[in-house]
Structure 1
């Protein structure tokens, strides 16, 4: 949104009420402080941890803790003792279970970081949560990518999450065939399940010198490339909770096919952190 973010110690939810499930505020702060002091491979904080676990809970197929836990914390011997180890794992498992319970009770809310804008005013930032959710999608990238490329219903359901992720610089989205895109240069394969939404225009289809407008794009990702207005941003922020619940229901109703098997070598969307590609 063009504002400088200065993270503060506190964490914010989309709603101020304490949820009926999960960790207390003190326990959330405890987990957040641990993650800050013992950064994992992607340096996820509490908000990103909540996004990661949310994506795992609503994933198209079950994901074992042995897959998602190394994304969150590193196994490098930094945990000093068994008590600390057990305490951290207990908090993470309880956070995971709270997401399951909140979704079943229709009370799910994402955890966002509380930051300061350029005027020093506190606001909620979805960047960390979106980074975590994108990391969870990466764990089953082939399934997500194939289905997003073939079923516009899932793309529509995920619209607020994808738009916020793109707005916050978490995702980098190429428009297939657009001038300057990686796909036009031919140095990168299309995303799993992605179709070439743009055809190379013939000479007859080019606008003439009279100033005719070029044909409108039929790329369903096109609106993701447009900057979001403040009202659109706020609306998307408030729509994330419902989107997560709808994603879970979608995969329950439309389970993965055999040709949408897990493929770790095919990331869905390229996720960025500090200007570097993260797969």
Structure 2
């Protein structure tokens, strides 16, 4: 079975209605795996797979469980390779929150990404807290999880600003990856400006 076919089967499994309410669907799982691929501290497979589903899904049998979990691990590795390459990172959804942000795929992706960050929050902010916080801002704003906070409430009200921020997400992901995994190669936009 090709990787594309594996992903199609994984997507059908994750997007099915019989998973736990808190389980991540395919788009959110992609965001979650992207965060795990960037995180400086590796999270054990069993831990992140269990957290992704909230509770064990009703697999048809061991073969299905193995297929789902193997494809998740392969997707995470695929995302890590994409982040490490020179190519632009591609999200599995449009960079657009649309007319109803709560219903958009991008919001789901951003929420998934933040779930991945929350798994090892301290590891994200250990080294370059200010730079990481600044880079995460568009993803945090896109997730809608922080809209109660005044800073994010202001961004959420300004559709043009929010749109401007979320279109930067692919390059931000590359920037975060380089900042954490190859700090000497981080792009110029992240290098400290001379005072």
Aligned pair in 2 of structure 1 residues 172, 84: CA closer, same or farther (>3 Å)?
same
Alignment RMSD = 3.2
More strand as a share of residues: 1
User: Who is 1:112 aligned against?
Assistant: 93
Structure 2 gap ranges (5+): 184-195
Whether 2:43 is the aligned partner of 1:63: answer: yes
Whether 2:14 is the aligned partner of 1:35: answer: yes
Q: TM-score with structure 2 length normalisation?
A: 0.74
**Which of the residues 168, 171, 192 maps onto 2:146?**
171
**Whole-angstrom CA distance in 2 between matches of 1:233 and 1:29:** 31
**Which of the residues 122, 126, 141 maps onto 2:121?**
141
Q: 1:231: Cα distance to partner?
A: 3.4
**Which of the residues 136, 155, 158 maps onto 2:136?**
158
More helix as a share of residues: 2
Q: 1:27: Cα distance to partner?
A: 3.8
Q: Considering only CA atoms, is the larger Rg found in Structure 1 or Structure 2?
A: 1
Report Cα offsets for 1:57-107 as digits up to 9, x if no partner.
Answer: 101211111221111235536112122122212221221111011112233
Aligned pair in 2 of structure 1 residues 154, 75: CA closer, same or farther (>3 Å)?
closer
For 1:240-279, list aligned pairs within 5 A. 240-252=169-181
**Whole-angstrom CA distance in 1 between matches of 2:95 and 2:104:** 5
**Which of the residues 225, 242, 263 maps onto 2:153?**
225
**Whole-angstrom CA distance in 2 between matches of 1:143 and 1:118:** 35
Residue 60 of structure 1 aligns to a residue in which SS?
A: coil
User: Who is 1:235 aligned against?
Assistant: 164
Structure 1 gap ranges (5+): 1-21, 176-221, 255-279
Q: 1:242: Cα distance to partner?
A: 1.1
Moved beyond 3 Å, runs of 4+: 26-29, 74-77, 113-119, 143-148, 172-175, 228-231
Single out whichever of 82-91 and 49-58 deviates more from structure 2.
82-91
User: Who is 1:125 aligned against?
Assistant: 105
User: Who is 1:199 aligned against?
Assistant: none
Residue correspondences, number: 177
